[in-house]
Structure 1
Amino acid sequence: MKKYTLLLLALFGIVLSTQAQEDKYLWLEEVDGQKALEFVNAQNKTTIAELSAEKEYQNIYDKSLAIYNSDERIAYPSIRGNYVYNFWKDKDHVRGIWRRSTVDDYRKGNPNWETLLDIDKLSEEDDIKWVYKGSSGLYPNYNRFLIDLSKGGGDAVVVKEFDVTTKQFIENGFLIEESKGSASYIDENTLIVTSDFGEGTMTTSGYPRQVKLWKRGTSLNDAQLIYEGETSDVGAWGGVLLDGSETFTLISRALTTFSSENLVWMNNEIIKLDIPDDASLTGVLNNQLIVQLKSDWTVQTNTYNTGTLLSLNFRELLKGNKEIQVIIEPDEFSSISQVSTTKNKLLIGLLTNVISELHTYSFSKGTWSSEKVNAPDFGRISIVGTDDLSDQYFFDFQNFITPSTLYSADAGDNTFKAHKSLPAFFDASRYEVTQYKAKSKDGTMVPYFMVAAKDIKNDGTNPTLVYAYGGFEISSQPFYAATFGVSWLDKGGVFVLANIRGGGEYGPKWHQDGIKEKRQNVFDDLYAVSEDLITKKVTTPRHLGIMGGSNGGLLVGVAFTQRPDLYNAVVSQVPLLDMQRYNKLLAGASWMGEFGDPDIPEEWEYIKKYSPYHNLKKGMDYPEVYFGTSTLDDRVHPGHARKMVAKMNDMGYKTYYYENTEGGHAGSSTNEQSAKSGALTFSYLLMKLK
């Protein structure tokens, strides 16, 4: 028996050894490994040398940097108390300044900006490449803030307490060392904190699983543990829900990518909110908890349909009772894109056939009533700044050829007026926007936008770039991208935005039809749009390119391995590519609700059919792909792109590769870095597609 056991162990060891040897590029997952960085530097050097020599490179770089640094950009507002806060980068503030102006001055269009924190100066003093990641203020006076600072742009941050009156970090104030997590004020002397509290306190996804209350003047190690999730959870976070002057301490336990338990800490005990785990909780207004459903919900004899936005009497829900009101139930061609609140009103952004509408809702005598805001049409509306103390707010409108305009609005009477507009960074009068639908493999009609010159000739020779994302219920909406205008449209290119499944354009079902075993629908939708452009003779495969980032980077990685015949250029940015190991790298385990678990054989069966890293073959006519990533991306591991490039190069395929040494998942930390990355990317596209 002992001999048999030893034989089994030996065989098992051989199997493990063989599996480990299958991927000979694992060394590239060592982010700061000397050998790995030598590989990166060599690839960067070759790519930069070739693409920066392209005739349009310097022109694109110069124009892009001028746009990023323009003083005419809109300073978008974040309203906190009597002040508007804004973070700003330009040529004199490469890493940016955090500043404020009074609300009154800002609304009058004459903000008197007061610099609170200079990130360039702080970086120089600390000898750290700090990247500002946001702030959380002390309600209601907002005289103190918790500032999130990242070392190089990653998701992990250092949290430091800041006094806006003295414009200084508070000596012996709250300080949380670098970690993924969150912190919010409960009151002046108490924080609710999630962080890496030491061994065993993080999930397999790399996020905190413990929530603590931390009192000023005490050690974080001694903070009161009020909740602890499981190691297998995605993570646990704490925060504060505001309802007028009342505050509620909220805990969210993320069970999977798309399901969470919502709990309230009250009177030293946890109360679980009896709502579906996959529902999205968006706030409280006048004692109405606002919830959007991601699946049907039956309560007693009533069934509330997927996608419905409804409200529940919050105090009754805390007692275990459900008093439910339907706010809006979108139809099959609509979805809710945004929900926000002012002092008395609910603001709802609605997408209808991927075109934005804005509505205000009021709650009175147990019912909701609505009024549509007569905002501009055929574009994207975004609620960008609301006021807890009034019904005034700001929203932004833009589309592909209309520069962004910030509007100052009042939800009380539904009036609004233009506050500030971007200048026209390119001559949009030359272009027009059209919307089409393409039939996917299973018959589903997939919408897409096309931006092209008015005098376009449908002769199949137009350089055409298709941009898509297709995941996580994120909708791809029209946007004004001045850099795309000067870098692509003005160079003779056609731009296409594909609204493929996996996104949220048509609500939760549009997303759910593209996850896990249904993932191929997402890829087929992209091919359908691409083939429709070819059928319309807008372009041909010789002149057709695709671009996507993160999940979109995976999308285009699949596309060129499944359909190399369709594309001559592929830009894969901060991508997932090795779908056998994605759940073992950084935050990857948190996305198994989207892609599936490759460690479960039946789920690996459908994942392996599209995993780009595993579907590379020798002797194929692949396009020369451009991969971009960041060394400090602590969300999607740079090893995905590194390993893909190494494997393709060893197979004899030419690739282009650029890895920025900082920037995190965004890819860049400064305007100069963004301009360089864009110039390399568009130089590649013009070289391949013109």
Structure 2
Amino acid sequence: MGSLSTLDAPLKYPIARRDESVVDNYHGVLVSDPYRWLEDPDSEETKEYVKRQAHVTESLLSTCDTRDKLGNRLQQVFEFERYQLPFKRGNKYFYFHNKGLQPFDVLYVQDDLDSDPKVLLDLNEDNNNVTVSLGLCSISEDAKYLAYGLRPGGSDWNTIQVMTIEDGNSLPDTISWVKFSNITWTHDSKGFFYSRFPAPNGETTDVGTETKIDVNQELYYHVLGTDQSEDVLCYKDPEHPKYRFSTYVTDDGQYLLLDIGETCDSVNKLYYLNISSIQSALQSAKDENTLLPFIKLVDDLDALYQYVANDETIFTFQTNKNAPKCKLVRVDLSKPSNWTDVVPESKRDVLVSAQAVNGNQLITCYLSDVKHVVHIRDLLTGCLLHTLPLEIGTVRINARRKDTTAFISFTSFLTYNITYQCELASQVPVMKIFREILVPNFDRSEFKTDQVFVASKDGTKIPMFIVSKKDVILDKSNPCLLYAYGGFNSSLTPHFSVIRSVLLKHLGAVFCLANIRGGGEYGEEWHKAGTFEKKQNCFDDFIACAEFLVSSGYTQPSKLCIEGASNGGLLVGACINQRPDIFGCALAHVGVMDMLRFHKFTIGHAWTSDFGCSEMEEDFHWLIKYSPLHNVRRPWENSNGRYIQYPATMLLTADHDNRVVPLHSLKLLATMQHTLCTSLKRSPQVNPIVVRIESKAGHCCCRPIQKEIDVAADRYSFMAKMLDASWTD
């Protein structure tokens, strides 16, 4: 049963204008879209609507008695030093560090691991503009230059700037309109490759609020010390305007690899170019107005190919070609039709990554039942040499082929971070702790992590992690937070969250992470089982996990909150439509809510690899069945006399999210409030339905720490109030 609101009286929502004349014909099916006007973020009507909704939300949040407690406690808890994994370029070491409450992490450089570090890049120095965050970051092979991208308001746009590393001087180079790109230096350090789009809506000053579709990306080379207008156009494909380009220079500096992708699917074309004389090739392309003469190694978008290593023309790649759990293959560029397996596909585990180290060794990382396992292998034969002794959790690896040392970071639900220094020169790898980060006043011994496997609707076993106090009592009294994603081959693995630690300790919350289909936890087959016409599997899996938590005594519907972001926001939106009776609260961040029009905005067209597209008749018929915007119903009308309403719902978005644009959340908000509340004289829907819109922020990332604290305090105090969760010190 939906939870009863703890509010003294139902909220009074703004009345949103409905334009009943807006009707689309999808393959003979008429679908109304009365809030189409909310797709224009710059209209005065939209701005006024957002302002009035913000007032409603604030009036509710001001009554949440844990709001200040959460905010204050998070301020205290974040006051500890945090380090990211170190990495090496040239003969220097680099790492990101935060002293505690600095808005953004600071980039440091060391001549060696024992020398005093010095600040290289600190965006916190501009105290008047803490909404400009770091996006791209690339250091030249000789460690002379740093190229970095600044993201205004957290949007996906990057403006690239360059500085010298030795003296920290900024160069005049400025590169604009860069998005979904990397920065790839040539080994001569004379310049770098990057990809850019045409400027949106002309030279707009407030980037990140646009909704125009992202197409016609082009690859350029920038020569240091020149204006962007002088950059060399290296590759474009106007016949395929949705193609996106990324590049990689091989470890020996001899080859440029060009990856070409169109959607978010794990497939790419792969071209290459010998760049031993790159400057003359660039000058020729510029003088003759031609593109660089890339050679096509793979010209089909049917599999993934990622560079691992090369010796002259003999290349090793990671691929899912005829291997849904991935494998390593080798090919000689002089014999491009002859591919051989180096490390065959595992029958059970998913190959996540492979890195060449210590000359002729490999570090391979596998995902085994959603836990990372790390192996040392022989690069030439692929033979297993060693398995590194790591606990159950998630690892990240920084290493280069020329180095005998690898840095490996470890995290889990109860361990913030341990960085290991792995020495590979000896016969048996030597692992020693390089740096361990502990969260103050968090005693991991008081908590436990369990993994269960829940039977979904069709019998498929769904892994789920459950994190709780060791003395948790299964009497259905615990507030419970269930999180999932389930899309785009993305795997959710164990990781520590400072914010979550506060919920565990002070709200007595049980945290659950469901590894539903659509993700990559068991390879491409697991991913495909949650796409297109099988997308309903994701919702069935999530609902099954919720039902397990109730039937096992962890919680009850009125104390169960579900949360997800982006594709996970879609998940939450679909599930509260389908099963409003088993959730007490819902937090849907930056969700894809209009499944009929998502492909028309910014990069939405890339998601058709998971969702399909409403312009295709077959796709339309499965999209319309679960699209959150189009399936809001009054659950009490078909409840056989039971009292059912929607759970207390908070939609969260940001005004500079130009990935999943805010219109998705705004249109769903207007639809839910109208259908469930404002169109009725007396509605059974007393649980609140509100939106939280962050200003000068983007898509769930790159926010300054204070914004992270404020958003967390708001959404989890809302959750605590709706679940009747008490604060304990």
Distance (Å, rounded) in 2 between the aligned partners of 1:559 and 1:419: 44
2:78 is aligned with 1:68: yes
Alignment equivalent of 2:268, drawn from 249, 260, 274: 260
Alignment equivalent of 1:48, drawn from 51, 55, 58: 58
Alignment of 1:52-451 (within 5 A): 52-71=62-81, 73-90=82-99, 93-105=102-114, 112-122=116-126, 124=128, 129-139=131-141, 141-171=142-172, 173=173, 175-177=175-177, 179=179, 181-186=181-186, 187-197=188-198, 206-216=214-224, 220-230=228-238, 232-243=240-251, 245-258=252-265, 259-266=267-274, 268-274=292-298, 277-287=301-311, 289-296=315-322, 305-313=323-331, 316-317=332-333, 319-332=335-348, 334-344=349-359, 345-364=361-380, 367-383=381-397, 385-413=398-426, 414-425=429-440, 426-451=442-467
Q: Which residue of 2 aligns with 1:299?
A: none
- Aligned CA distance change for structure 1 residues 133 and 564 (closer, same or farther; 3 Å): same
- Aligned CA distance change for structure 1 residues 429 and 238 (closer, same or farther; 3 Å): closer
CA contact (8 A) 2:271 2:298 kept: no
Q: Which residue of 1 aligns with 2:49?
A: 39
CA RMSD of aligned residues (A): 2.9
1:274 deviates by 3.3
1:89 deviates by 4.2
Q: Which residue of 1 aligns with 2:280?
A: none
Distance (Å, rounded) in 2 between the aligned partners of 1:619 and 1:535: 22
Q: Which residue of 1 aligns with 2:661?
A: 637
User: Match of 2:476, SS?
Assistant: coil
1:44 deviates by 2.6
User: Match of 2:570, SS?
Assistant: helix
CA contact (8 A) 2:75 2:101 kept: no
CA contact (8 A) 1:449 1:497 kept: yes
Identity in percent? 25
Distance (Å, rounded) in 2 between the aligned partners of 1:306 and 1:667: 29
Distance (Å, rounded) in 2 between the aligned partners of 1:499 and 1:608: 25
Alignment equivalent of 2:513, drawn from 484, 497, 517: 497
- Aligned CA distance change for structure 1 residues 562 and 21 (closer, same or farther; 3 Å): closer
Q: Which residue of 2 aligns with 1:300?
A: none
Q: Which runs of 5+ in 1 are unaligned?
A: 1-11, 106-110, 297-304
Deviation per CA, 1:38-97, whole angstroms, max 9, x where unpaired?
3223323332342244222222212223333422x2343232222222334456742443
CA contact (8 A) 2:480 2:509 kept: yes
- Aligned CA distance change for structure 1 residues 122 and 290 (closer, same or farther; 3 Å): farther
2:676 is aligned with 1:676: no
CA contact (8 A) 1:181 1:196 kept: no
CA contact (8 A) 1:257 1:591 kept: yes
Q: Which residue of 1 aligns with 2:207?
A: none
- Aligned CA distance change for structure 1 residues 198 and 399 (closer, same or farther; 3 Å): closer
CA contact (8 A) 2:101 2:706 kept: no
Q: Which residue of 1 aligns with 2:623?
A: 607
1:155 deviates by 0.9
Deviation per CA, 1:147-184, whole angstroms, max 9, x where unpaired?
1011111111101121122312213x353356554442
Distance (Å, rounded) in 1 between the aligned partners of 2:606 and 2:48: 30
Q: For residue 184 of structure 2, what is the amino acid of its counterpart?
A: S
1:540 deviates by 1.7
1:248 deviates by 1.6
- When structure 1 is superposed on structure 2, of 567-576 and 206-215 the one drifting more is 206-215
- When structure 1 is superposed on structure 2, of 464-473 and 251-260 the one drifting more is 251-260
Task: Give the TM-score taking structure 1 as reference length.
Answer: 0.88
Distance (Å, rounded) in 2 between the aligned partners of 1:43 and 1:285: 53
- Aligned CA distance change for structure 1 residues 75 and 274 (closer, same or farther; 3 Å): closer
Deviation per CA, 1:440-478, whole angstroms, max 9, x where unpaired?
111111111111222222222221111101111111111
2:627 is aligned with 1:581: no
- Aligned CA distance change for structure 1 residues 69 and 289 (closer, same or farther; 3 Å): farther
Alignment of 1:458-607 (within 5 A): 458-607=474-623
- When structure 1 is superposed on structure 2, of 75-84 and 527-536 the one drifting more is 75-84
Distance (Å, rounded) in 1 between the aligned partners of 2:248 and 2:387: 29
User: Match of 2:119, SS?
Assistant: strand
- Aligned CA distance change for structure 1 residues 294 and 24 (closer, same or farther; 3 Å): same
User: Match of 2:580, SS?
Assistant: coil
Question: Which structure shows the bigger proportion of residues in helix conformation?
Answer: 1
Distance (Å, rounded) in 2 between the aligned partners of 1:239 and 1:248: 10
Q: Which has the higher contact order (CA 8 A, sep 6+)?
A: 2
- Aligned CA distance change for structure 1 residues 232 and 495 (closer, same or farther; 3 Å): same
Deviation per CA, 1:628-670, whole angstroms, max 9, x where unpaired?
1111111111111111112212221531221111221125621
1:318 deviates by 5.1
User: Match of 2:254, SS?
Assistant: strand
Distance (Å, rounded) in 2 between the aligned partners of 1:551 and 1:608: 16
1:331 deviates by 1.9
Runs of 4 or more off by more than 6 Å in structure 1?
Answer: 12-21, 198-201
Alignment equivalent of 1:626, drawn from 642, 650, 673: 650
- Aligned CA distance change for structure 1 residues 129 and 403 (closer, same or farther; 3 Å): closer
1:295 deviates by 4.5
Q: For residue 116 of structure 1, what is the amino acid of its counterpart?
A: L
1:419 deviates by 1.6
Q: For residue 336 of structure 1, what is the amino acid of its counterpart?
A: L
Distance (Å, rounded) in 1 between the aligned partners of 2:24 and 2:73: 55
- Aligned CA distance change for structure 1 residues 320 and 362 (closer, same or farther; 3 Å): same
- Aligned CA distance change for structure 1 residues 200 and 646 (closer, same or farther; 3 Å): closer
1:321 deviates by 3.8
CA contact (8 A) 1:204 1:234 kept: no
- Aligned CA distance change for structure 1 residues 14 and 683 (closer, same or farther; 3 Å): closer
1:586 deviates by 1.5
CA contact (8 A) 2:479 2:509 kept: yes
CA contact (8 A) 2:250 2:256 kept: no
CA contact (8 A) 2:318 2:354 kept: no
Q: Which residue of 2 aligns with 1:6?
A: none
- Aligned CA distance change for structure 1 residues 242 and 51 (closer, same or farther; 3 Å): same
User: Match of 2:395, SS?
Assistant: strand
User: Match of 1:94, SS?
Assistant: coil
Distance (Å, rounded) in 1 between the aligned partners of 2:590 and 2:76: 25
Distance (Å, rounded) in 2 between the aligned partners of 1:238 and 1:612: 33
- When structure 1 is superposed on structure 2, of 447-456 and 405-414 the one drifting more is 405-414
1:420 deviates by 1.7
- Aligned CA distance change for structure 1 residues 577 and 15 (closer, same or farther; 3 Å): closer
Q: For residue 409 of structure 1, what is the amino acid of its counterpart?
A: C
Q: For residue 188 of structure 1, what is the amino acid of its counterpart?
A: S
Distance (Å, rounded) in 1 between the aligned partners of 2:560 and 2:521: 24
- Aligned CA distance change for structure 1 residues 143 and 67 (closer, same or farther; 3 Å): farther
Distance (Å, rounded) in 2 between the aligned partners of 1:405 and 1:128: 29
CA contact (8 A) 1:156 1:181 kept: no
